A and B are shown apart, each in its own frame.
Chain A
Amino acid sequence: MIEIQHVNMVYPNGVGALKDINLTIEQGEFVFIVGTSGAGKSTLIRLIGREFLPAGGRIRVFGRDITKLRRREVSMFRRNIGVVFQDFRLLDNRTVFENVAFAMQVVGAKPREVRRRVPEALEMVGLTGKAKLKPLELSGGEQQRVCLARAIINQPSLIIADEPTGNLDPKTSLGIMDLLKNINIRGTTILMATHDREIVDRMKQRVIMLENGRIVRDEQRGVYSQDAH
């Protein structure tokens, strides 16, 4: 599903750069990308979302080299990806329902479809009954659930999440992880950057560790750090 070959990324200050990354992720996997801040986690995630282009190397997603997409194709490519952000990125002046519906309207969904699927998604993330509230009337965990509902509403085959639990307390974080696991069980590939040791150790999923822009470890059913064994 995702195939990364010899990808390099350079930043003038060296922070977040990537050096010769090689990586394959299969359909339906749940993958953690871990490492300290500045190790390159975010950069890798954002490269896969085609937010910018790598300095060198190839990135194939869904069988296509995304470094060669035209501008319009980038839009079409992103419709197959759900994105979850650390800071939620919800529109504060719209209700929960509108925030989720927004992602459907943008891709030209029928109003009838929107009315049917948004409540379904809200139910799945446990927000039934909060549809008419505005994001700022919700707790952080609830806001991240809205963000998750928005990410899955167009039924993407890949979800990329950059520190989705970074702003949440441990208990709330676990709730979000349960949701992500549920989404994963239904067949959606999940790629999540995090430095939350507890979560990674508890989930027992594939762990890819970055250090100074290089992959230093790639383990199935891994934990955050080796000395934790």
Chain B
Amino acid sequence: MLIRNIIYYFKEAFASILRNGWMSFASIAVVAVTLFIFGSFFLLNTNVQYVTDDIKEQVEIIAYVQNDLTAAETEQLRLQLIQLDKVKEVKYVSKEEALERLREQLGDLVAGYEEEGRNPLDDSFEVRTTIPEDIPEVAAVIETLPGIRRVDYGTDVVKKLFNFIAAVKWVGLAFMIGLAFTAMFLIANTIKLTVNARAKEIMIMKWVGATEWFIRWPFVIEGIILGSLGSLLPALGLTYLYNEAVTWAQINLYFLPLVNPDIILAPLVKLLLLIGATIGGLGSLFSMRRFLKV
């Protein structure tokens, strides 16, 4: 009895999808388009997050040490820095190391400064915080420490960057939530059309003694199938496009790190299928409530 009914539900659902061909096509298209946009934003947002995390990782405070400090005093200062609140990592960079780095970047331009007493640079500490956003605050504290000559962290640029990153993240998130709701609304409406077109059928079913769930199941399954089919297209499309994009970016935008497709695509596909099926099933449940009252 139960298995026979389940077979019936699926048969009905598929038959209905075929019978209402254009309506089904419209539903799938709506789901596909919305989930495609949703998925694009998901990828964009994840990558923005990834890139900004990468940039944030590179942000650090450079605290220049007064050049008359002894080795012991410098060590004392290092200990002081590492004990500061919110500080994750402190690295000492001697002026010789700093010069060496400069030489790697600028080459012969700095030749001749290696000789004793000709190095114009200062010893410094590179300080990283646990949370990159704490940098301005920590920098202000470090600046007051005795023995520190100057603190540098690209002040305004970093503050602006952090604000920008936060804005991008929230706008993206708001957009994605809005989109998910729009998709739900559109799908509920499309399925309402299917249900409307079949109001007569539902009424006949009620008159010949079908139970409410018996009437509901085929529609719910139909919704889930339509939603899943609709999510398949963007899942495949985005998988293809993202792989292409990453390949392209590796050649043309090598400085821009993108999230590895192997890591991001599986969760994306699962998410799209889940959202598609859920939206489809819930959509049909909502849209047929009215018709069951007889």
Q: Please give the residue numbers on chain A whose beta carbons come within 8 Å of chain B beta carbons, in ascending order.
A: 49, 51, 71-72, 75-79, 81, 83, 89, 91, 93, 102-103, 105-108, 110-111, 150, 154
Can you name 5 extra interface pairs (CB under 8 A) apart from A75-B210, A89-B200, A103-B208? A78-B206, A78-B207, A79-B209, A91-B201, A107-B210
- Give B170-223 interface residues, CB cut-off 8 Å to A: 200-201, 203-212, 214
Interface contact B200-A91, CB-CB below 8 Å: yes
Nearest CB in chain B: distance from A74 CB, A: 8
Contact, CB under 8 Å: B204 / A91: yes
Provide the bound-state CA to CA distance between A49 and B207, in Å: 8
Give Cα A93–Cα B17 distance, bound, in whole angstroms: 13
Of B200, B204, B208, which contacts A107 at CB under 8 A? B208
Question: B19 contacts A76, CB within 8 Å?
Answer: no
Residues of the B chain whose Cβ atoms lie less than 8 Å from the Cβ of A105:
8
Interchain CB contact under 8 A, B1 and A108: yes
Q: Which B residues are within 8 Å of any A CB, using their own CB? A: 1, 4-5, 8, 19, 200-201, 203-212, 214, 294
Q: A110–B208 contact, CB under 8 A?
A: no
Residues on A with C-beta less than 8 A from B212 are 71-72, 75
Give the contacting residue for A106; candidates B200, B203, B210, B294; CB below 8 A.
Answer: B210
- Give A132 to B211 CA distance when docked, in angstroms: 28
Residues of B within 8 A of A71 (CB): 212
Contacts of B294 in A (CB 8 A): 51
Whether B208 contacts A106 by the Cβ 8 Å rule is yes
**Which residue of A has the minimal Cβ distance to B11?**
A105
Q: Are A110 and B4 in contact (CB under 8 A)?
A: yes
CB distance from A36 to the nearest CB of B (A): 26
A219: shortest Cβ distance to chain B, in Å?
30
CA gap between A136 and B251 in the complex, in Å: 64
A150 B208 Cβ-Cβ under 8 A: yes
Q: Which residue of A lies closest to B5 (CB)?
A: A108
Distance of A82 Cα from B214 Cα, bound (Å): 19
Nearest CB on A from B262, distance (A): 47
Q: Which B residues are in CB contact (< 8 Å) with A102?
A: 204-205, 208
Contact A89–B210 (Cβ < 8 Å): no
State whether A154 touches B208 (Cβ < 8 A): yes
What B residues does A103 contact at CB under 8 A?
Answer: 204, 208
State whether A75 and B19 are in contact (beta carbons under 8 Å apart), knowing that A108-B1, A108-B5 are contacts in the complex: no
Which of A72, A76, A83 contacts B207, CB < 8 Å? Answer: A83
Inter-chain contact A107/B8, CB cutoff 8 Å? no
In the complex, which residue of chain A has the Cβ closest to the Cβ of B215?
A: A106
Query: Chain A contacts of B5 at CB under 8 A?
Result: 108
In the assembly, what is the distance between CA of A106 and CA of B8, in Å? 9
A106/B201 in contact, CB under 8 A: no
9 A-B pairs with CB atoms under 8 Å apart are A72-B212, A75-B210, A75-B214, A89-B200, A102-B205, A102-B208, A106-B205, A108-B214, A150-B208
In the A-B complex, the 4 residue pairs with the closest CB atoms: A79-B209, A78-B209, A106-B210, A103-B208
Q: Is the CB of B19 within 8 A of A93?
A: yes
| Interchain CB contact under 8 A, A106 and B19 | no
Q: A89-B203, A91-B200, A106-B214 are in contact. Are A78 and B4 (CB under 8 A)?
A: no
- Please report the C-alpha to C-alpha distance between residue A209 and residue B214 in the assembled complex, in whole angstroms: 38
Shortest Cβ gap from A115 to chain B (Å): 14
* A160 nearest in chain B by CB position: B207
Residues of B close to A49: CB separation below 8 A: 207
- Chain A residue with the shortest CB-CB distance to B1: A108
Q: Which residues of A contact B207 (CB under 8 A)?
A: 49, 78, 83, 89
- Give the distance in Å from the alpha carbon of A53 to the alpha carbon of B184 in the complex: 36
What are the residues of chain A within 8 A of B1 when measuring CB–CB? 108
Q: In the bound complex, do residue A76 and residue B200 qualify as a contact, i.e. CB atoms below 8 Å apart? A: no
